[in-house]
Amino acid sequence: MHIVVVGLNYRTAPVEVRERFTFSEEDMPKALEQLNSTKSVLEGVIVATCNRTEIYVVVDRLHMCGYFIRSFMEQWFGINREEFTQHLYIYEDEQAISHLFKVTCGLDSMVIGETQILGQVRNAFLTSQKHDATGTWFNMLFKQAVTLGKRAHSETSIGESAVSVSYAAVELGKRIFGAFNDKKVMILGAGKMSELTVKHLYANGAAEVIVANRTLGRAEELASKFKGTPCTIAEAKNLLNEVDIVISSTGSNEYVLNAERVKESMKKRQSRPLFMIDIAVPRDIDPAVGELSNVFLYDIDDLEGIVETNLEMRRVEAAKIEVMIQEEMDAFHTWLKTLGVRPAIRALQEKSNAIHEETMESLFNKLPELDERQRKVIRRLTKSIVNQMMHDPINRIKEMTGGKQGGEALDYFSQIFALESLIHENEQEARGRNKKATAPVKAERTKNAVDQQAEEKPLKVSLAPATL
Amino acid sequence: MLLNIIYITGICIYALSLLFYISDCISRNSVAKRIGTGLLVITALLQFAGIGIRAMEGGHFHFPVFTLFDFLFLLAFCISITSIALAYMKRSEFAVLLINLVGFCVMLVNRLWFTAGDNALYSWETEHRLLLIHIALASISFAALTVGAVFAAIYMFLHRKLKHKQWNDTVRRLPSLEKLDVYSYKALMAGTIILVMSLVLAVMSVAMAGRWTLFLDIKVLSTLTALAMYMVYFIKRRLWRRSGREAAIWALIGYGFIILNFFLNTWSAFHSWSGV
């Protein structure tokens, strides 16, 4: 079996293409059903966000699987495949697993390290699981991916630093004040950028907002959004000693605030620091203001420099996550390898139990004078001997199948204990059971155009040794 | 012998703990931080065991503070305990590292320069137990003043970084200027109050012994100077409402005199019984 991901994202497809490939929440059960009834598909998860639409599948063979998934997309979206094939990417096996891990960790996101995608992948998996579209492989893989995503964000600082100018201003403010709970913010010039910055500050608990603008009408409009106080620029200059944060973005060609004015107001502020953000071009605040004691002045270039530094820090953290991803991939491979040993272990246990029962029966027939208690003791002790004998071989084969020559070791194991026929019988039995269990579902699926694949579903529970 | 082994083991584990903290501070590593904190707890336990052994020397319990070795050992223990408590605070990695660097230096210097020796005052038969409380309080106050000084130093560092727009990961990992100012103020406030209490007890003790000339000792004068620096700090901070940076400078000057105090023992007759 193989893991394959087919999809498109913000890198491969523009928004006008991506918007045509969205799955609504209410259509998801039907889409999953149709995906699972697609030829060759055994398990499926659909991850659909504004930046990506990805279809993760477990297929029984790689040959033509891309064609089948494209057919599914063609049918579901009603779009000719020639229109979207150029935007699609297909990853198989290791690349597909690595891609999923990168997606959950936020390394494949537009804003590297963002956490939203982790929740979206988790929800997509839970939806698929709820509608029986996942099996042994994806149940393990997606749980591992989500856990890795959480670990990546908790053990590294990839998602902590601000990557936009407005957030950078908030982060800077936090380094000065800690919290904005009792802080007053003043906006000079009611531009979009300053509005966005004050919005973040307000969301972080800023106590009061004063909006100053050349035209009072616009100031009133913006102030109403933050339950703030509107005023003119001239009035604002006199209120400078009362505020803790000043965000300036007027369209003025001259300095709105000069060093003299700020120095005067700082005398009244005593020891309280003043954080000034000048995002206007040309600048509103005289750079000499930054030299004053207790004044922290940052202009647009400084903020962009912080964003760039933060992005660089995120890239450094991403390198650490890459190592974590490699470790998780190894762990998944080991798990896959041990998956094949389960039927052999089960067969060995069944065989040993059968021998034990047979021997006990023979013994009790030869010694009919034994009472119930004696029989119980003998049964328990002999069972213990069998268990102890089996303990080491079972543990060893588990370890060995995780190694390089796992398949060979498993073959020897089956041959030494003569388990081949028993394993085969168990598989046949499991298939038979599964056929019965899935019969009603398949009956429904026969209505669909691609229903013939349903006959191959029993493979879903046959835990064949890994081929990845 | 046992004390020796415990002390050496304590120093080694302390050094290891610091290495893990340094590793975390250089490049964020939560595992290293956890290991560092675990080792710090082991160090504190070993220090506690060492103090316990000193306390039980001679076959019966006595409070081991009367030699410079014991005093510094107790100070190192106080610093370890304080830093363990701080380790559970957010963004405290650098503060814990710096405080423990002081603690480690204290332990190392103690090992290299001083020996455990006899409990001088124990055999000297103190007139009263006031001296014992004086020394214990002095130890706690020095630990608190160390914490205050470290926060003041971090304040200066962060202030400089923010003022000169030198943004990096270290800046992001430090507490805010406002918090650093508050932490430093509270630690210094506690440290100064305890130091004053300790000095009052010392004055009472000396007065009861009638050794008035000791008040002119260089060590007494330097201690009073340090106290005066801290008073200036509080006046500037509370009454004149000066900036956090200016207050931090005074906090560091005060701590400088506290360190100077240790080095004045050579020329001082005040603690001629080999105590602090």
Per residue, what are the HEC states of B134-158? HHHHHHHHHHHHHHHHHHHHHHHHH
The answer to whether residues A344 and A398 touch, using CB atoms and an 8 Å cutoff, is: no
- The H or E element containing residue B204 is helix B177-209
The answer to whether residues B155 and B81 touch, using CB atoms and an 8 Å cutoff, is: no
What is the chain B residue with the closest CA to A162?
Answer: B172
Q: Which residues of B touch A174 (CB under 8 A)?
A: 176
CB pairs under 8 A between A and B: 60
Interface check for B168 against chain A (CB to CB < 8 A): the answer is: yes
Closest by Cβ to B176, choosing from A156, A176, A298: A176
pLDDT value of position A385: 93
Closest by Cβ to A306, choosing from B158, B167, B175: B167
Q: Which residues of B touch A267 (CB under 8 A)?
A: none
pLDDT value of position A456: 34
A345: CB partners within 8 A, 6+ apart: A394, A397, A398
Closest CA to A172 of A156, A183, A161, A186: A161
What is the chain A residue with the closest CA to B238?
Answer: A271
Q: What is the dihedral of CA A290, A296, A297, A298, to 10 degrees?
A: 140
pLDDT value of position B208: 73
CA dihedral sign of residues B15, B20, B23, B25: negative
The rounded distance, in Å, linking the Cα atoms of A412 and B143 is 67
Catalytic residues of A: 50
* Residue ranges, chain A, pLDDT below 50: 437-468
pLDDT value of position A434: 54
What number of residues does chain A have?
468
CA of A333, closest CA in chain B: separation in Å?
A: 25
CB contact under 8 Å between A270 and B171, yes or no, is no
pLDDT 10s per residue in chain B (276 long)?
A: 788 889 899 999 999 999 999 998 888 888 899 999 999 999 999 999 998 988 887 777 777 767 778 888 888 999 999 999 988 887 888 889 999 998 999 888 888 877 766 555 554 455 556 677 788 888 889 999 999 999 999 999 999 999 999 988 889 889 999 999 999 999 999 999 999 988 888 887 777 777 777 777 777 888 888 899 898 888 888 777 777 888 899 899 999 988 888 777 666 656 554 444
pLDDT value of position B43: 95
The pLDDT tens digits for A355-396 are 999 999 999 999 989 999 999 999 999 999 999 998 998 888
CB contact under 8 Å between B162 and A175, yes or no, is yes
Mutate: best of B24, B29, B165, partner A, most A CBs <10 A: B165
Closest by Cβ to A271, choosing from B163, B165, B241: B241
Q: Which of residues 97-156 of A touch B (CB under 8 A)?
A: 154-156
DSSP-derived pairing of the beta strands A184-188 and A208-212: parallel
Quick check: helix, strand or coil at residue A299? strand
Q: Which two tokens stand for residue B219?
A: 């060590």
Q: Which two tokens stand for residue A149?
A: 């995503």
Residue labelled with tokens 């957010």:
B90
The answer to whether residues A46 and A54 touch, using CB atoms and an 8 Å cutoff, is: yes
CB contact under 8 Å between B176 and A309, yes or no, is no
pLDDT value of position A100: 96
The rounded distance, in Å, linking the Cα atoms of B101 and A90 is 54
CB contact under 8 Å between B243 and A305, yes or no, is no
Interface check for A323 against chain B (CB to CB < 8 A): the answer is: no
A368, amino acid identity: P
Interface check for B103 against chain A (CB to CB < 8 A): the answer is: no
CA dihedral sign of residues B29, B23, B175, B160: negative
pLDDT value of position B128: 55
Q: Which of residues 177-206 of A touch B (CB under 8 A)?
A: 177-178
Indicate the angle between helix axes A93-105 and A300-339, nearest 10 degrees. Answer: 140
Would you say the pTM of this structure is higher than 0.90? no
A102: CB partners within 8 A, 6+ apart: A108, A325
Closest CA to B73 of B92, B54, B86, B57: B54
Closest by Cβ to A294, choosing from B158, B171, B243: B243
CB contact under 8 Å between A161 and B172, yes or no, is yes
Interface check for B163 against chain A (CB to CB < 8 A): the answer is: yes
What is the chain A residue with the closest CA to B31?
Answer: A155
Interface check for B272 against chain A (CB to CB < 8 A): the answer is: no
CB contact under 8 Å between A155 and B176, yes or no, is no
Quick check: helix, strand or coil at residue A131? coil
The answer to whether residues A23 and A44 touch, using CB atoms and an 8 Å cutoff, is: no
The rounded distance, in Å, linking the Cα atoms of B142 and B96 is 16
CA of A290, closest CA in chain B: separation in Å?
A: 8
CA of B114, closest CA in chain A: separation in Å?
A: 43
The answer to whether residues A336 and A468 touch, using CB atoms and an 8 Å cutoff, is: yes
The answer to whether residues A404 and A324 touch, using CB atoms and an 8 Å cutoff, is: no
CB contact under 8 Å between A177 and B176, yes or no, is yes
A52 DSSP 8-state letter: E
CB contact under 8 Å between B243 and A293, yes or no, is yes
